Amino acid sequence: NAGVTQTPKFRILKIGQSMTLQCAQDMNHNYMYWYRQDPGMGLKLIYYSVGAGITDKGEVPNGYNVSRSTTEDFPLRLELAAPSQTSVYFCASEKGTMNTEAFFGQGTRLTVV
């Protein structure tokens, strides 16, 4: 049982490049989330999904896109990378929203130069 798997663990991008951060969970959870965490701060929600085919914006969605074609996968797309997107990105999943716990991946550390 792998839980939530994120790839890659580290990445350096040049300004203007694009990339996709991968996230997969094997717990058959309906809810999935993408967060970013800047140094010394708490997590900020980028996008979330309540099930396959359904996504919605979180607190800081600008510069990102997501899709959810399957229950298991929830990739995050960065278009035209900017230095402000340098951060650690965490993917999470959970069964529901109340009275449930979220499981987190180990993160992707992204640097845009």
Query: What is the binding site for another protein (CB under 8 A)?
Result: 4, 33, 35, 40-45, 48, 56, 58, 88, 90, 92, 97-99, 101-107
Q: Please report how close the Cβ of residue 39 comes to another protein at its closest, in angstroms.
A: 9
Q: Please report how close the Cβ of residue 20 comes to another protein at its closest, in angstroms.
A: 19
Alpha-carbon distances, residue 68 vs 34, 39, 50, 88, 109 (angstroms): 12, 28, 9, 21, 22
Dihedral (Cα; 30, 40, 81, 77), 10-degree rounding: -10
Q: Please report how close the Cβ of residue 38 comes to another protein at its closest, in angstroms.
A: 11
* Nearer to another protein (CB atom), residue 5 or residue 17: 5
For 83, list phi and psi in degrees, rounded to 5: -55, -30
* Nearer to another protein (CB atom), residue 42 or residue 62: 42
Q: Please report how close the Cβ of residue 15 comes to another protein at its closest, in angstroms.
A: 24
* Nearer to another protein (CB atom), residue 17 or residue 58: 58
DSSP state of 97: S
Dihedral (Cα; 56, 61, 67, 73), 10-degree rounding: -100
